Structure 1
Amino acid sequence: MIELLSSLGCRVLKDEPLSMHCSFKIGGPADFFIEIPNEPALSEFLKIIPDDRFYILGGGTNILFSDEGYRGTIVRLTGDFKKISISRDEILCGGGALLSDVLKTAYENDLTGLECAIGILGTVGGAICGNAGGRDKWISDAVKSVEVYENLKREFISREKAVFGYRKSGFENCIISKAIFSLKEDIKKDSLKEISENMQKRLETQPLNMPNVGSVFKNPDGFSVGKLIEEVGLKGKCVGKGAGFGTSRKFYSKYGEALLQKTF
């Protein structure tokens, strides 16, 4: 397997520490860590490795790895999958492209529609999979179509056929290899103002000076998790040595009931 994938341009690492590949900077070794640079290599990989033996990793900015590592293969799309091109008011990019690079391309070409992505450090594939965005706008608003690999088949799915929702997309069991964003001409040059406002909000509300994954909570319908935490007096609380790095299972077992009662 290693010889075949290496001959196709893949970078294959054994016992690679996952702490090197996520924003939390923690995590034990993966049996294999493979960087796949193009579609021929991806097709061959999918013929070799069963679906339940690999995990597709984007930018590593929305994941928490165990200290025990991962018994299987971690896959990251690189090379051709990071390319970005533009055609009039559309941006075509690979699933491994950094969302920040796509936003920069849009801004440099006077296109608007992706301002909600400012400050999100992951890849296009990861952002679409989790329907990343802010409080009121989502990346799905700008998606025209998505190319995915599922069960050894490549398929193009339009925005209309996708199943986007709050922090979900319906692509969770697929590999997102490409995406097309349909944007609008920024005639009034308003995108810079919105980008600045969104970035300032992230700077004020997220601990960007330490390892983190941004906001880790999903808001229940009609509620704000942040507001609920403050109302029950839990803001700043922590258990163990995890202060500043999210909320542990022990925290939930100790304080989760108060949140549930406040929510329902």
Structure 2
Amino acid sequence: MIEILSSLGCRVLKDEPLSMHCSFKIGGPADFFIEIPNELALSEFLRIISDGRFCILGGGTNILFSDEGYRGTIVRLTGCFKEISVSGDEILCGGGALLSDVLKTACENGLTGLECTAGILGTVGGAVYGNVGRGDKWISAVIKSVEVYKNLKKELINREKAIFGYRKSGFENSIILKVVFSLKKDMKNDSLKEISKNMQKRLETQPLNIPNAGSIFKNPDGFSVGKLIEEAGLKGIYAGKAQISELHGNFIVNTGGAFAEDVLALINLIKEKVKEKFGISLETEIKIIK
């Protein structure tokens, strides 16, 4: 596998520490870590791996790897999968493109519609997969189409046939190759103002300068999970070197040298105490990879 994929331009690493590839800075080694630069190499990888275990990694945000690592192959899409182009009011980008680069491209071309993604780290593929956004605005609102690999075949899915919900999409068993965003001209030049406002809000309310994975739990209907955690008296609590953020209760931070088991201990504590105090069962938003 290594020789074939290397000949197709892939970067193949063995026993690669996953702590180096996620925003939490936590995780043991993966058996293989492969960066795939084009569709030919991806097709060949999928043929070779067959029934083998693998996981597509976006920007490494909103994810927690186990301390034991991953017995299988972690894949990151690079090369042509990071390309971004503009055609009129549309932006075409690969699933591996950074969301921040797409937002920057939109601003440079006077296009509006992606402001709700300001400050959200990760790739386009991960953002579409998790239907990211802020408040009542979601990235799915400006998606025109998504091209995916599913069951070893390429499919083009138009927005009206896609299924999106709160922090989820219908692409759980697919590899997102390309996305087309349908935006609008920013006639009033309001885009930069909204981006600045969103970024300032994040800086004031989220621990962006300490390793974390973003929101740990989904908000239950009608509730702010951050406020529930705060009212349960859990902000600031430690487990090892992991801490429930004092700035925002729905964030767990790695204060330096935290293990996945520390984070999981805090997740379980939060679930237990919120259920005990409010009768609400919390659902994790981050993906836990073992």
TM-score range, shorter chain: over 0.9
Give the number of the structure whose residues are more often strand, by fraction. 2
Residue type matched to 1:262 in 2?
A: F
**Structure 1 position 250 matched with structure 2 position 269:** no
Instruction: Single out whichever of 251-260 and 158-167 deviates more from structure 2.
Output: 251-260
Partner of 2:193: 193
Q: Which residue of 2 aligns with 1:107?
A: 107
Of residues 268, 278, 282, the one that matches 1:262 is 278
SS in 1 for 2:64: coil
Cα deviation, 1:205-248, whole Å, max 9, x if unaligned, reads 11111111222220011111112122222222333331244583
1:256 Cα deviation (Å)? 2.9
Query: Which residue matches 2:91?
Result: 91
The corresponding residue for 1:35 is 35
C-alpha displacement of 1:252: 4.7
Shift of 1:170: 1.2
C-alpha deviation, 1:135, in angstroms:
1.9
Task: Identify which of structures 1 and 2 has the higher relative contact order when contacts are C-alpha pairs closer than 8 Å and 6+ apart.
Answer: 2
Q: Quick check: 122-131 or 240-249, which moved more?
A: 240-249
Please show how residues 111-260 of structure 1 align to structure 2 within 5 Å: 111-243=111-243, 244=245, 245-246=252-253, 248-260=263-275
The answer on whether the counterparts of 1:228 and 1:263 sit within 8 Å (CA) in structure 2 is no
CA contact (8 A) 1:223 1:263 kept: no
Q: Which moved more, 1:61-70 or 1:88-97?
A: 61-70
User: Identity percentage over the alignment?
Assistant: 76
Which amino acid letter does the alignment assign opposite residue 124 of structure 1?
V
Separation of aligned partners in 1, 2:70 and 2:51: 14
Output the CA distance in 2 between the equivalents of 1:164 and 1:254.
Answer: 30
One-letter amino acid of the counterpart of residue 278, structure 2: K
1:12 match: secondary structure: strand
> What's the counterpart of residue 66 of structure 1?
66
SS of residue in 1 equivalent to 2:238: coil
CA shift, 1:193, in A, is: 0.8
- Structure 2 CA distance, aligned partners of 1:194 and 1:210? 25
- Contact kept, 8 Å, 1:10 with 1:41, in 2: the verdict is yes
| Paired residues of 2:229 and 2:270 also in contact (CA < 8 A) | no
**Structure 1 pair 10–78 and aligned structure 2 pair: CA distance change class (3 A):** same
2:111, 2:186 within 8 Å by CA — same for their partners in 1?
yes
Structure 2 counterpart of 1:75, one-letter code? V
Aligned residues: 264
Task: Please tell me whether the aligned partners of residues 146 and 178 of structure 1 are also in contact (alpha carbons under 8 angstroms).
Answer: yes
Deviation string 1:77-130 (CA, Å, 9 cap, x unpaired) is 000000000000000000000000000000000000000111111000000001
- What are structure 1's unaligned runs of at least 5 residues? none
Query: What is the TM-score with the length of structure 2 in the denominator?
Result: 0.87
Structure 2, unmatched stretches of 5+, are 246-251, 254-261, 281-290
Following TM superposition, by how much is the alpha carbon of 1:263 offset from its aligned partner in structure 2, in angstroms? 4.7
TM-score, length-scaled by structure 1:
0.95
Offset at residue 51 of structure 1 (A): 5.3
In structure 2, C-alpha distance between the alignment counterparts of 1:29 and 1:190, rounded to whole Å:
45
